[in-house]
Amino acid sequence: MAVRTVEWLDEPVAAVRLLDQTRLPVEEVYLEAVDVDTLVDAIVRLVVRGAPALGAVGALGVAVAIAQGEREGWDDSRLRREIARLRDARPTAVNLAWAVDRVVTFLPDGPDAVLAEARRVFDEDVAANHALSERGADWLLRRCPDRPLRVLTHCNTGTLAATAWGTALGIVRELHARGRIDVVHVDETRPLLQGSRLTAWELAADGIDHVVQVDSAAAGAILRGLVDAVVIGATASRPTATPPTRSGRSGWRWRAPTPASRSSWPHRGPRSTWRRRTGRASRSRNGRQQRSSRSAGCPPRPRAAGCSTRRSTSRPPASSTPSSPSAVSPNRSSAPT
């Protein structure tokens, strides 16, 4: 796609130019953020979203804060408070905090050093997107039928979620460039419809055949053999062989056929998305991620009458054990229609 989700502007004042994703697909509107308040508001309202894009906004946002501070005469304490506001604008966005923390270390070296590091964050993400897409495409082609593939994806993981190209949807683009995409099944992704509004818009712009389906139709499409592979993104991931965090996949995660066991998910992603702590992320008053109540050691919620509070120690036969789909998950049971 020719659009740029995030872009740095030097003139007339330092600013971050954002494609307003709340207005898509009806119209392309750009927002120029020249101060921290505008950037924080854009993050909160989902004008900009997606882990890699938020990382770039966080890095460039530190440069915006410095420029605003110079115009308004902030001292160092005020500058750091404003940068902290930017960092905590979305507590669950691992990349946002990671990028701000990386760039802030260059504050003593001056504004030019901060901007140069922010640009490196941006450029590294572009390179990582393309490398991930090539490797993901190679991985799928080694395991899927030797024909154009039918791929299912959820939410939006394309150019709109990154600095360029995309992550999971970047794999779809790479397959399309190689002539190996038949059709893409796009989950609508309720409640904000990132699939039907954003992913479908990107695929249409690239000329990639696709169909939009309600989220609850995903499991049926897989089990009916209409899908060869599932490619999804992750809000955050762990540096272990555990499934990535992807809200919205609960409708089909336990039913998607995949040859990979849960302990060997083909999980790929940059270190900037790694979540070091275990447990489900949740918002907290201080803006930091916290574990869910159960993983934090709190007692479990009371169960309904008649439900056992003990977990069964027996396991069903291997043939009937459900398995989770991986971030890049081929469905070998599929047959062409």
State the pLDDT at residue 300: 43
State the pLDDT at residue 79: 98
pLDDT at 52 over 90: yes
| Region at 110 (left for phi over 0; alpha for psi -120 to 50; beta for the rest) | left
State the pLDDT at residue 234: 75
State the pLDDT at residue 294: 34
Per-residue pLDDT of 182-224, as tens digits, reads 999 999 999 999 999 999 999 999 999 999 999 999 999 999 9
CA dist., res. 321 & res. 312, Å (int): 14
State the pLDDT at residue 259: 30
Task: Please list the alpha-helical segments (H only) found in 9-93.
Answer: 36-44, 51-72, 76-87
Nearest alpha-carbon partner for 122 in 284, 4, 291:
4
CA dist., res. 189 & res. 196, Å (int): 7
CB atoms within 10 A of CB 204: 12
Instruction: Report the chain's mean pLDDT, rounded to a whole number.
Output: 80
Decide the pairing of beta strands 181-187 and 30-33: unpaired
State the pLDDT at residue 2: 74
State the pLDDT at residue 319: 43
Q: Which residues are CB-contacts of 45 (< 8 A; sequence separation ≥ 6)?
A: 22
Provide mean pLDDT across the span 13-18.
Answer: 97
Provide mean pLDDT across the span 116-134.
Answer: 96
pLDDT exceeding 70 applies to what percent of the chain? 69
CA dist., res. 8 & res. 21, Å (int): 17
Q: Domains in the chain, ordered, with CATH?
A: 6-125 (1.20.120.420), 136-296+309-330 (3.40.50)
Q: What pTM, to 2 d.p., does this model score?
A: 0.75
State the pLDDT at residue 330: 62
State the pLDDT at residue 3: 86
The confidence band for 270, taking pLDDT boundaries of 50, 70 and 90, is: low
pLDDT at 149 over 80: yes
State the pLDDT at residue 257: 33
